[in-house]
Amino acid sequence: MVTVAPALEQYRIPANVVDCGVLPTSESHHQKFQLIIAALESGKHVKMKALGSSMLPSIWPGDIVLIESAGSEQFEVGDIVVIRNSAGLLIHRLIARAAWLTSRGDAMPQADPPVRPGDVLGKVTKVYRGMREIRIRRQLSPVHRLAALLLCHSQLLLNLTLRAANFWNRRADAAGEVEEISASE
């Protein structure tokens, strides 16, 4: 497990970062967002638990994601990036790159509003599901693309999928897996 840098030790808190662009609704959420932003802006890596369903099937609720700080010139179309926007923080796939950057969740029907390159704080370089590292692909396979399309357009299928994920995540949490935000250089 990556440790928290000494300057950030006071902010060691459980990870509950919403990846669907939800405003930080409490002081606790605000501190979490500020911790992540500060760590990435200072060139550190952040490991945190992902929530939300917008990146299914690439990232599941409960997956641990490793985010590396990176300059906007290092982002390529297909990278999964962390974006600071008016709604908070967002983890989505970069789908277009010009003067502004456009992203979209794999299981979302439409693209997010374009953002400035400076609003992209880092990119997801590793995803851990349970005790396994999941390979990150820049492009979804046909099977994953079909799954994302079905999840995007079927609320029933999405609900069943999330219930199954919740069941497995509770089992993993009981086994004592990583549940904290951490930052390192």
Tokens 């399309």 label which residue? 149
Containing 147, the helix (H) or strand (E) segment is: helix 142-153
Task: For residue range 76-121, list pLDDT tens digits in order.
Answer: 999 999 998 877 789 999 999 999 999 999 999 999 999 999 999 9
Containing 184, the helix (H) or strand (E) segment is: strand 182-184
Closest CA to 92 of 73, 70, 77: 77
* Helix-then-strand count for the chain, H and E: 3, 9
Mean pLDDT check: name the lowest of 6-20, 137-151, 165-179. 6-20
Q: How far apart are CA 137 and CA 79, in angstroms?
A: 8
Give the predicted TM-score (pTM) of the model. Answer: 0.77
Report the pLDDT value the prediction gives residue 18, as an integer from 0 to 100. Answer: 34
Strand, helix or coil for residue 78:
coil
Neighbours of 105 (CB within 10 A): 26
- Residue ranges covered by each domain of the chain: 13-175
Q: Terminal CA-to-CA distance of the chain, rounded, Å? A: 13
Containing 80, the helix (H) or strand (E) segment is: strand 80-85
- What radius of gyration, in Å, describes the C-alpha atoms of the chain? 16
Give me the CATH code for the 13-175 domain, please. Answer: 2.10.109.10
